[in-house]
Structures are given as C-alpha cells and as structure tokens.
Chain A
C-alpha cells in the first residue's frame, strides 16, 4: 500500500491502475482495491493538477499570510482554522510552530483583491492578533515539480 502511495506521490502524470500493478508486480484488482480503500479512508484526499498560471492569460496572485492567533478555550486553533479554510480563496492552511501560528495561502485575481480579503475577512476576526502578508513574485517549484524544467536527455554515445 505504501508502495502505491510512493508511486503516486512521485508521478507527475496521471497513471493507470494497470501500470501501477505492472510496476509493483501486483494484480490489477488488488491495486484497484487498495486505491479505493485509501480514498475511502481519506489517506488519498484528492488528485490535483499543478498549473503554471504565468503561462496562461489568467491573472493569478498568490500571497502567504502569517497569522498570530489567540487560541480559544477548549477548542485551541481548530475552530479559527475552520472559519478561515472555508473561504474558497484559501488554498492551503497550516498550523505552525515558531513566531506565528497559522500560515495561509491565498489566491486572487489581483493584489488588491488579496489585500482586501485580508483586511476585510481575516484581520477583523476576534481571535486574530496580527497578520503579515507576503506576495509571491515567482514560483520556481510546487509540489516537488520544477516549473521550468529542461529534462532533455543529454547522455552521449559511449562504449556501453
């Protein structure tokens, strides 16, 4: 099962069950069942396409926002986190150790849109003590995939 996850984690392209089965020397039916179980148990939470928006005509602005929070009695950070991640603009949300508590990734059409979201939605929340917004200027690598990767085979002919 871990081997299946390992293959999926590395594979950049979509990959068929039959191919996974061949790579593992396993039965296709077994692989299908394992995958269904992994999906049911939410070990595999989704399959997502990585897009380099800079190459399209759609404007996408990404920002990383550091939030400092007052945890609530009995609920810790989870309740605040939930209020934040329900916004569709929020692409990722992590609880952090260190100088701040939550790291939020926001995507919007423009810097203004993102800034307004922070000012109007995040900053006013009761338990939020402070926000710090950092805009992303260029993405080099995401989810282990380098955006401008030149993967040409440069191996030359040699006597074996």
Chain B
C-alpha cells in the first residue's frame, strides 16, 4: 500500500487550502441562503460574443491556435489597449494569450523568480500570488495596506520591504477584495522607488475596466520607465463577463514574454480556440456592453456602500472592481466568527477579510456582482445581525 503522504511533493502538500469553500458548502445546503460571496460577474457573456463563439464552431475552427494565440486576437488586443489606455505593444512579440489571467500570473512568476528570491505582495489581495510564488521556490513578502490609506500601496511601505533579494513586485489594482485603486499619481510614486533597480513588476489589471469616479484606468507600464520591467496581466473574465471561457493575456517586453511562452507551450499548448474567436468580437464590438455593465455595477456599488454605512459599519469607498470591504471591528468579532455566525443566524454568505491576508482581519468582502434585489435582502439581514450583536 502506498503511503501517499510520503510520496507527494511536500511543497504542494504544505500549501494552505483556500479557506472559503466551507462557507459556501454550508450555504448551498440552506434553502433560503443568499450570498454576496461570488467573485465573478452575474451577467452572462453578451450575446454577440457568444454568437461569435458559436459561429467559429459552425465554421469548424476547432484546431489548436499558435502557441501565443491567434494573430488576429493578438492584433485586436494591441489595438484595444492602444485605443483604451494609450499603451502600444507588438502583437508578434509582446503579447501572450493565456488560459485566464491566472495562468499569465503563474507564468510571469515562474519566468522571473529564482529560488530564495523575494516577491512583494500588497495585502489584502487575491489568493493566488502567494502559493504560486512558493511553488516557484520564491519567498512571498506581504506588505500590509491599510483602510486609512484606502488600501493603496504607499512608496514608503514599499521601500521598507525592498532588500537585495527582491525580484518582483505584484501590483494587484484595482484590487480584489478591497476595491481599492491606484491613481496615476500613486503609481508615479511607486515608480520613483523602482527606477534604477532591477525589480520587475507584475501588474494584475484584470479589473482595469471596472473603475468608478473621475479617473480612468492607467496601466502601470504607461508610467515613465516602467514598461521595460512590467508585465501587465489582463483578460476577458471581468470586463466582458467571460469567466467560463478561460481567457486572459500578458503584455510585456519580448524578452520576458518569449520565456513565458516557452512554459505555456509545454504546459498548455494554446488557449481554447473557441474562446479566442469570441474574444475578438469582444474587443472589437462590445464597448457599449462593457459600459452598460460598468454603469450597472456602479449603481450597485453606491447602493451597497450606502447600505453598510447606514447600519453604522465603516466602509471605505471602493473605486474599482466589484467588491466592498466593510470593517466589522465594531462588532468585536473576528472576521471568521462574523462570517460563520452571519451564515448560521441570517443565512447570508460573505467572505472573511483574513482569507486575503492577515491585514484583512476585521473586514469582510462582499461582492456586488448580484442583482439589486439580492443585495437589498442581504443588507437587510446583515443589518439585523449587526444590530443584535453590536452591544455584546
């Protein structure tokens, strides 16, 4: 009999599992449970995109594509990024189409990080950076961002953590789970710390289209001197509501992209062909659909922030993504405790902030990728819960 514990990789086996699932598994059992937990758009992919995918199947476009992705798609990606954000990339050498933004993140980390080198990760953040760093043999170094700084990464915080082992800085903005964003000026300040160093940057801009307020999104590579050290990760999941199509891309210097492509070609071959054809339609003809979804998210964003503040919880105003990150410290519960009891007593599933790093303790993540009716009912129940426990 094989003792699997002895034969499997100790690195993989030591990776912590995502601590979120249990809440949703319990919620799924409850009949009247409602959730603000899911981190993906509630919108279905716009019909014109789905139709383009179907058409590609009808035409029999069922083969592999080039390793880097269809050249038509890469060209469309470059045109789109130039048109929307004013950054220029060469479709032949500076673009790689991947299986979701997540694959691009993995490839970038594996391409750059040598064993023992440090990866700076502003937290709270999406859960994948840390395990992917560990699997590449790197050392994750969290940087705690704070509510009073609107969860931005400040240059002095960065400076404090830079050592001679620092290889890579992750910039996860607009941010999941906080909804925090970095303005152009904020990024300039970060760039000042990086100029003249060999530190590279992975700018995860998957929520870049979902910005609210006056200032639009600026890719980090657009900041003076940053292009040569930055890989921008983006994709179709959030902006075009295409999560299930599994399609993302990386933009960066050809010297890095070509190495990322090497891993990609051995591990993945090429991203799904149907999704790639559909994505061309998304980039070329769906500006209005994206704008409509953004507008709808914005209504919900204002509504939910207002709702949390009205029940007396401090809630920083998020200017990106589709999450709010209210502070629940006034209830004297830990994030885990709050979420467990909220689910038990009021049948509402939300995600504890500490799932996104220790600095998320004292907060909960609520997604507003839900209908207004759903949000309204959830807020009503959360308010009841908070009123009941505030005195304790």
Interface residues of A (CB under 8 A from B): 6-7, 10, 13, 19, 22-25, 153, 155, 157-160
Contact = CB atoms under 8 A, between A and B. Distances in A.
Nearest to A159: B18
Interface stretch (B298-306, B337-345, B380-388): B298-306
B20 A160 contact: yes
A157 B42 CA distance: 13
A159 B307 contact: no
A22 B306 contact: yes
A150 B18 CA distance: 31
A23 B39 contact: no
A153 B177 CA distance: 21
Contacts of B42: 153, 155
21 contacts: A7-B299, A10-B296, A19-B303, A22-B302, A23-B299, A23-B300, A23-B302, A25-B302, A153-B42, A155-B38, A157-B21, A157-B24, A157-B28, A158-B39, A158-B40, A159-B20, A159-B21, A159-B128, A160-B39, A160-B176, A160-B355
Contacts of B18: 159-160
Contacts of A160: 18, 20, 39, 126-127, 176-177, 351, 355
Q: Which 9 A-B pairs have the closest CB atoms?
A: A23-B299, A159-B18, A157-B24, A25-B302, A22-B303, A22-B306, A160-B39, A23-B303, A155-B38
A157 B33 CA distance: 14
B373 interface: yes
A153 B27 CA distance: 13
A44 B376 CA distance: 26
Given A157-B24, A159-B18, A159-B21, A6 B295 contact: yes
A108 B373 CA distance: 35
A19 B21 contact: no
Interface in B2-57: 18, 20-21, 24-25, 28, 38-40, 42
A10 B373 CA distance: 13
Nearest to B295: A6
Given A157-B25, A160-B18, A160-B39, A19 B127 contact: no
Nearest to A160: B39
B135 interface: no
A23 B183 CA distance: 24
B112 interface: no
Interface in B221-268: none
Nearest to A15: B372
A159 B17 CA distance: 9
A7 B25 CA distance: 34
Contacts of B300: 23
A10 B300 CA distance: 13
B39 A24 contact: no
Interface string B114-157: 00000000000011100000000000000000000000000000
A160 B353 CA distance: 12
Which has the most chain B C-beta neighbours within 10 Å: A6, A155, A157, A160? A160
A159 B299 CA distance: 26
Interface string B301-341: 01100110000000000000000000000000000000000
Contacts of A158: 39-40
Contact of A155 (B25, B40, B177, B295): B40
A87 to B, nearest CB: 37
Contacts of B40: 155, 158
Contacts of B21: 157, 159
Contacts of A23: 299-300, 302-303, 372
Given A6-B295, A159-B21, 5 more contacts: A23-B302, A25-B302, A155-B38, A157-B25, A160-B39
Nearest to B39: A160
B370 to A, nearest CB: 8
Interface centre among A19, A23, A157, A158 (most CB of B within 10 A): A157
Among A6, A10, A23, A153, chain B packs the most CB atoms within 10 A around the CB of A23
B62 to A, nearest CB: 25
Contact of A19 (B20, B296, B372): B372
Chain A CB count within 10 A is highest, among B307, B372, B376, for B372
B374 to A, nearest CB: 8
A159 B351 CA distance: 11
Nearest to A13: B373
Nearest to B367: A160
A117 B291 CA distance: 45
Nearest to B302: A25
B56 to A, nearest CB: 23
Contacts of A155: 38, 40, 42
A10 B371 CA distance: 12
